[in-house]
Structure 1
Amino acid sequence: MLRAGGRDAVDEECQSSAVGTALCLALLFVWYCYRVGREQSAPALPGRPGPFVLLPADGPQGRQGPAAPPCPPNGSATASSLPMLPLHPGGRGLNHRLYHSLQDYAKRYTWSGMGRLHKGVRDPARHLLSVRPAPSIQKPEVFFLPDLPTAPFFPRDAQKHDVELLERSFPLLLAEFHSVYRPAPPRPGSSPPPGWKANGTPQGQWWTFYLVNQGTPLALNARRCPRTWRVLAQLRTFIGNNVFGNACFSVLGPGSTVSEHYGPTNVRLRCHLGLKVPPGCELVVGGEPQCWSEGSCLLFDDSFLHTAFHEGSAEDGPRAVFMVDLWHPNVAAAERQALDYIFTTPGPLTGPFRPSLTRLRTRAPV
């Protein structure tokens, strides 16, 4: 009987210990759920910066600044873990804003395929123009995506579909250029035709007629060029949803020179379709000269130091090209979507009401 009573006492002690352990574990679990719930209900990134504006400067270059909040890109959001990594020691200003924008994107969507973007955001000091002291032939002003194949000029096969589409559309693009361009007196300070913008040059005249300027469609200009707008909407790799995307007619008058400058990023290729190319016109990118040809496209990386000039006579008339920004062929689809989110088009038209290429095209007169 004593032995049985001893066993009962031991069993009761073991049961009490097990109940106490279970209660402790339950309390720990409740505490953990409470902490996780508080973290998830708090704002993910308080004070997250808005998209970027590439503001015009005195010359071909630009500068960046904050703007209105962006809208998320189309597509279904997927949950993913978000490693809150420390900022790079030099992570202030642009680096800091881009870092938090990338984290916000990954929190809403995914970290998958974001390795190069993460690397470029966390360590921009070797690439950006503002923080790169040593002379370099390539210095993007705003963002550098590492590990992209790089060269001043690219072969037409790099974006074969869009290049062939533009070249097939040469006659109608040329006709609409003539419909909106009216030569002004060739004197300094003369006003450009309606819809055109004068750009600063050390000498001569350089005018642009934008259909899309830093990702924002210009409705009035687009309605004046409905066929060109339809061509633009058919391009597969046109950058139409962030501030790195532009499309315009660009005119360089006789005796004009565009100052040497760098573009904002290496994630794009700038495409020039020659419309009117008199003798004595040349484009120099990264120290390599190329000549435009009427009806043919030139693809180049404008994050390289580049310039253009027209040394022809007044009788030769202006040099005219149709310029459009295309994605670099080695920027993956996931990276493009993230870049559209980080560098979303700013301003009052940001969000679901910002006119898209297709929607604006339907409003343009035939």
Structure 2
Amino acid sequence: MWRGSSAGGSQGAAMEGTGGELGGQGNWGLEDAPGLLARASLPIMPAWPLPLASSALTLLLGALTSLFLWYCYRLGSQDMQALGTGSRAGAVGGRPGGCSEAGRPSPGRSGESGEGPRTEGLMSRRLRAYARRYSWAGMGRVRRAAQGGPSPGGGPGVLGIQRPGLLFLPDLPSAPFVPREAQRHDVELLESSFPAILRDFGAVSWDFSGMTPPPRGWSPPLAPGCYQLLLYQAGRCQPSNCRRCPGAYRALRGLRSFMSANTFGNAGFSVLLPGARLEGRCGPTNARVRCHLGLKIPPGCELVVGGEPQCWAEGHCLLVDDSFLYTVAHNGSPEDGPRVVFIVDLWHPNVAGAERQALDFVFAPDP
């Protein structure tokens, strides 16, 4: 825009120069309108302060983390309190009750001295140690077993005839005799190994007259006329006996459900002489199934479990839940010879893998 050189023009120029960017009172032309409009455009809303947003997000994450840690603490405290209550109950109630002859070992068992922890308090402590190392996941039944355990009176099982002496796992399907299909692989493997196991027994057998001490590897008689030779005793391998019975040991190594790392697990030969009788016995837990492979079964032999009679057959397996009261008898004549079975302790088919791992930890064999 042309401006004159007169005094008025100079005064207008001076006013234009001192007017400022937007508030000046100088003379503007039409060609200056776009620039003025661009300079006059102000933001409607200021940008969000990014440092303030980051601080708010950090505070929110910190609060959520604190709530999660508090929840974990409360959950762990409740678990410890519940298990502590079970431990105190076990200490007050004393040793869990079993069957009428729980103090006497049963055939094919290692005896009460090596079956596992004696008190519920010890089981609870070992279970807490397992949970600290691994997890409580899948431990519902095991935790309830640690809190309650078998009652000292009539037992927790069916009509008082199921009386495990140390561990009762609740909500476990129970029957005196278990179908073969429940452990098909192990049953078929043992039955196919029948000739080799029978040869092993012939190699370690003796006259069982009782006139001389039992030979090496054989345990002292558990009761009159009852002998056993164990390849696994309370979850521990017996190396000398395993070397003398290679066929039986090879079969044990091929089993999928053998309780080989648990104090409830035993395997070996059980011999019952004519006239011998074991009555009113029961096993330490309902978490196992005892497999009997008949080797020599003379007439007059009988097995009654939970009031149901059965009999062995040579070369065939019989699955027994020995947490039920049972009676074993050999009513044959002396000429018939002894009854011989190969006994293996297997996991109950309805005990889950996580529960087996926890029970192996709790009832681990002593070093």
Shift, 1:185, TM fit:
2.0
Conservation of the 8 A alpha-carbon contact between 2:139 and 2:355 = yes
Q: Given residue 189 of structure 2, which amino acid in structure 1 is its aligned partner?
A: L
Offset from partner CA, 1:143-195 (integer Å, 9 cap, x none):
111000000001111100000000011011001111101113256xx522321
Query: As a proportion of its length, which structure holds more helix?
Result: 2
Equivalent position to 2:215, from 193, 198, 208 = 193
Equivalent position to 2:314, from 294, 301, 323 = 294
Higher Cα radius of gyration: 2
Counterpart position of 2:139: 114
Equivalent position to 2:295, from 264, 270, 275 = 275
Matched, 1:313 2:337: no
Q: Given residue 250 of structure 2, which amino acid in structure 1 is its aligned partner?
A: R
Matched, 1:172 2:192: no
Offset from partner CA, 1:86-144 (integer Å, 9 cap, x none):
xxxxxxx71222112111101100111001101111122xx34x455798101100111
CA distance in 2, matches of 1:132, 1:184: 37
Say which SS state the counterpart of residue 112 (structure 2) adopts.
Answer: strand
CA distance in 1, matches of 2:275, 2:116: 37
Equivalent position to 1:183, from 197, 207, 214 = 207
Q: How does 1:1-366 map to 2 (within 5 A)?
A: 57-60=103-106, 62=112, 94-124=119-149, 127-128=150-151, 130=152, 132=154, 136-185=160-209, 190-201=212-223, 204-347=224-367
Q: Given residue 137 of structure 2, which amino acid in structure 1 is its aligned partner?
A: S
Number of corresponding residues = 273
CA distance in 2, matches of 1:241, 1:65: 12
Shift, 1:63, TM fit:
5.1
Which shows bigger deviation, 192-201 or 144-153? Answer: 192-201
Conservation of the 8 A alpha-carbon contact between 1:284 and 1:306 = yes
CA RMSD of aligned residues (A): 2.9
Unaligned runs of 5+ in 1: 1-21, 40-44, 50-55, 68-92, 348-366
CA distance in 1, matches of 2:283, 2:271: 18
Distance change in 2, residues 1:250/1:332 (3 Å): same
CA distance in 2, matches of 1:176, 1:96: 42
Counterpart position of 1:351: none
Shift, 1:323, TM fit:
0.2
Say which SS state the counterpart of residue 191 (structure 2) adopts.
Answer: helix
Tell me which of the two structures has the higher relative contact order, counting C-alpha pairs closer than 8 angstroms and 6 or more residues apart: 1
CA distance in 2, matches of 1:123, 1:104: 18
Shift, 1:222, TM fit:
0.6
Q: Given residue 177 of structure 1, which amino acid in structure 2 is its aligned partner?
A: F
CA distance in 1, matches of 2:230, 2:153: 31
CA distance in 1, matches of 2:175, 2:291: 14
Conservation of the 8 A alpha-carbon contact between 1:57 and 1:63 = no
Shift, 1:199, TM fit:
3.2
**TM-score by structure 2 length?**
0.68
Query: As a proportion of its length, which structure holds more strand?
Result: 1
Unaligned runs of 5+ in 2: 1-55, 74-79, 88-101
CA distance in 2, matches of 1:309, 1:192: 22
